Structure 1
Amino acid sequence: MDQQSLTRESEEFLEDLAEELSVPPSRYEQAERSYNSLGEWLHRDASSVRQYGPKVYVQGSFRLGTTIRPSNDAEEYDIDSVCEFQKLSKASLTQERLKILLGAEIEAYRKAQSMNKPMREGRRCWILDYADGAQFHMDVVPALPNGHSARILLEARGLDARWTATAIAITDNQGPTYTFTDDWPRSNPKGYGEWFKSRMAAALERRKRVLAESTRASVEDIPDYKVRTPLQAAVMILKRHRDHTFENRKEERPISVIITTLAAHSYNGVETIGRTLAAILTGMDQHILWHNNRYWIPNPTDPLENFADKWAEHPERATAFFEWLQKARTEFAEAARSSDKNVITETVGRGVGGSLADRAARRRQPPARPALLKTASVAPASAGLSFPDRSRVPTKPQGFGSAE
């Protein structure tokens, strides 16, 4: 594909599209209230787990600031949280016992809160369904600290262990060691959140400083969810593009953590959403490795974990990812070079849904309101942005640990 420059109109449209997808601050506050409320319940005098130091915190897209609004009223916000028992170790009980301990307290909490819908058990979590009008449910993953073990494991293989301080061990009722104590599944949502934040640190700091000056607050008092970086906006747009593309093929759609990880690796610090999308879509597949005859997208906080592990068993998911990437490249490149708002709306609408694109187009009625970043919203005429015509063939990573 020839080099393309982004037009002012396409940049403005993408700003408005991100705004249309964004979650109201009240939803972030609602999520915070929900997991804080559960944490307080677990620390009440009558709690059966208080002595184990339970700490409840959010993970997933709410932690990363990449949550998107549900596309219809039937869909719900999924608040992913962790309950980490800081004073327990893997040697003291089984995954099954930990799951039962937490489940009993969550059930008591549900009754005390007069929540009508029954608690559900997921593979790794307990699920609380809030009232219909709330439009959200909360997944609570039981966990134990695992930083020391994770660091030893990675360092023994010569792998990056810098994020391991916040690593946790989690339960999996379908895993072979669910009723034994020695081997637990690993996770590190806090570490992943810090890694993701590190990829956009300068942009996040700049936006918080601007907001702090405009509200006469200190930067430290501005919560992360009050601002949105180009990386977060781009991930939100790509997730909705994924959702719409795979509306009738949900089993094949790329999982969010793959999109988020590849996008964060590809982000190069540019200041507008359009240029960020161009950088991400150009570079995404360059971070997919080929290791032991399989695709490998390592978890940045635990390189032994492969986010693409299901692609070996389901090769159609790998095919679907590369097809989706090419579709996104084609559509966003076409929109990027157009100055016609109708063409931009129609082109992007093919990927994200026509009604959403129409709502984004209506946000900016003439006379146009000034862009948030006036000087940075338009790429200079000489700034070419290319989307490669074909996906890059993954290569074997250099120096990758030999262990699976």
Structure 2
Amino acid sequence: MTITITKQAEAYLESLANALEIPQHRYEQAERSYKSLGEWLHREESSVKGYDPDVFVQGSFRLGTVIRPVSEGEEYDVDCACSLQSLGKKQISQRDLKEMLGEEIKLYRKSKGILKKVHEGRRCWRLEYADGAQFHMDIVPSIPNAENQRQLLEARNLDAKFSDTAIAITDNEVSGYYEITDDWPRSNPRGYAEWFKSRMGEAFVRKREQVLNELRAEGVTASVEDIPTYRVRTPLQSAIMLLKRHRDSMFEEDPTDKPISIIISSLAAHAYAGEATIGNALLSILSRMADAIEHDGTKYIIKNPTDALENFADKWESHPKRAEAFFQWLEQAREDFSGAGSLVEYRRMSSILADRMGREVTNQANEAQLQSARSGLLGVAGAASSTSAPSVSFADTPRTPKKPDGFA
């Protein structure tokens, strides 16, 4: 894939990513919500207080890659985990952990006057907020799993540097769900977020410093460590947002086989090479996106960067259409974004991407660039009008113009 992008396309793709951003208050709303649940679990009457509950956000809200829903009727999905840090696998079954935490979440719902009932998912409890809030929170019960994770990986000579934040989670479809056993599903959302941050590299450091300086200019006392990842917008994050919306639109009628976000985010992060602009990052990522996909002769493998024993593409073997769907989507994304990247007219870019990205966001991006162009012209005109007119004088003697050079 040849990477060619005009400066106009760069500006347009940046505006397109801006149009996909969710309002800052949505991130703050999610943060308040999971912190509020954590405070509830630590209250005096809490049945889990003695187990030192730790509630934290994971997924796209933690990575800063959330995108606006296609319609106002859709909800934001805030993924959280709750780790009972003083419990171990030898003390409790997955079922008992899930039920114990579920009772507290149900009491929390009542205390906050949330009308919708708590719903049990395969791995989590779903807390449905009021319609106006436009989001729900999925809380995955978990316990620490650092030592077991480290032993498991080191025994196979695999990288265990992210093991300190590993957790074991509940899943009501696994065979040992009702038993006290060492065999729990594994996860490491904090470790994954740290790996993702490392892939953003210097771009993340620069952007975070920029946000810090802006806050200090507003009189806010903060340190660089106080700046959450969602306040930073790097080319990698923006590229992933564009790819996720393209995926959503392409598979709007076929959600079963659409590529999952963790695969898109992981492959994009692997492929990112520190490009400084959104357009260059996006096209470079698309050109290398398949490089981290392995095939052992039987199945595709996309390794979890924090746990090489986990295959993000494990469902592709039993659902081969999902592998086909991924490669079809990748080819289409390459065609659409490289096509738009070669153009200089914003309306033509919008016409190529409208069906894949949504007409509303492409119109917003188009208008943002036209507005920027108008502002630039007004600035030039204003500068010209404020400049003193040159002193011009004409001699009294008549002049006969000669023929212009280069004309017959």
> What TM-score, normalized by structure 1, do the two folds share?
0.89
Q: 1:180: Cα distance to partner? A: 1.4
Q: 1:4: Cα distance to partner? A: 4.3
Distance 1:221 1:87, change over 3 A: closer
Alpha-carbon distance in 1 for matches of 2:27, 2:344: 35
Q: 1:279: Cα distance to partner? A: 1.2
Question: Which moves more between the two structures, 139-148 or 198-207?
Answer: 198-207
Q: 1:110: Cα distance to partner? A: 0.5
Alpha-carbon distance in 2 for matches of 1:122, 1:4: 43
Alpha-carbon distance in 2 for matches of 1:367, 1:279: 26
- Any idea what SS the aligned residue of 2:65 has? coil
Q: Is the 8 A contact 2:19 2:361 kept in 1?
A: yes
1:345 aligns with 2:350: yes
The one-letter code of the counterpart of 1:144 is I
Q: 1:212: Cα distance to partner? A: 2.5
Indicate the residue corresponding to 1:114 in structure 2.
Answer: 113
The one-letter code of the counterpart of 2:60 is S
Q: Is the 8 A contact 2:84 2:144 kept in 1?
A: yes
Provide the aligned length of Structure 1 versus Structure 2.
Answer: 369
Distance 1:205 1:306, change over 3 A: same
1:266-305 equivalences under 5 Å are 266-291=271-296, 293-305=298-310
Q: Deviations over 1:15-41 (max 9, x none)?
A: 111111001111111011000000000
- Any idea what SS the aligned residue of 2:138 has? strand
Q: 1:46: Cα distance to partner? A: 0.5
Indicate the residue corresponding to 1:24 in structure 2.
Answer: 23
The one-letter code of the counterpart of 2:357 is V
1:240 aligns with 2:239: no
Q: 1:367: Cα distance to partner? A: 4.3
Which of the residues 364, 372, 376 maps onto 2:369? 364
The one-letter code of the counterpart of 2:314 is D
1:152 aligns with 2:155: no
- Any idea what SS the aligned residue of 1:338 has? coil
Q: Is the 8 A contact 1:147 1:167 kept in 2?
A: yes
Q: 1:351: Cα distance to partner? A: 1.8
* Identity within the alignment, %: 53
Q: 1:362: Cα distance to partner? A: 1.2
Q: Is the 8 A contact 2:168 2:184 kept in 1?
A: yes
Indicate the residue corresponding to 1:261 in structure 2.
Answer: 266
1:7 aligns with 2:6: yes
1:290-329 equivalences under 5 Å are 290-291=295-296, 293-329=298-334
Q: Deviations over 1:161-188 (max 9, x none)?
A: 1111100000000111101122100000
The one-letter code of the counterpart of 2:232 is V
Q: 1:220: Cα distance to partner? A: 3.3
Q: 1:91: Cα distance to partner? A: 0.4
The one-letter code of the counterpart of 1:248 is E
Q: 1:109: Cα distance to partner? A: 0.5
Indicate the residue corresponding to 2:336 in structure 1.
Answer: 331
Q: 1:224: Cα distance to partner? A: 2.4
- Larger Cα-atom Rg: 2
Q: 1:359: Cα distance to partner? A: 1.8
Indicate the residue corresponding to 2:81 in structure 1.
Answer: 82
1:228 aligns with 2:227: no
Indicate the residue corresponding to 1:33 in structure 2.
Answer: 32
Indicate the residue corresponding to 1:380 in structure 2.
Answer: none
The structure whose RCO (Cα within 8 Å, separation 6+) is larger is 1
Unaligned runs of 5+ in 2: 217-221, 377-408
Alpha-carbon distance in 2 for matches of 1:154, 1:120: 35
Q: Is the 8 A contact 1:4 1:337 kept in 2?
A: no
1:199 aligns with 2:199: yes
- Any idea what SS the aligned residue of 1:251 has? coil
Q: 1:204: Cα distance to partner? A: 1.0
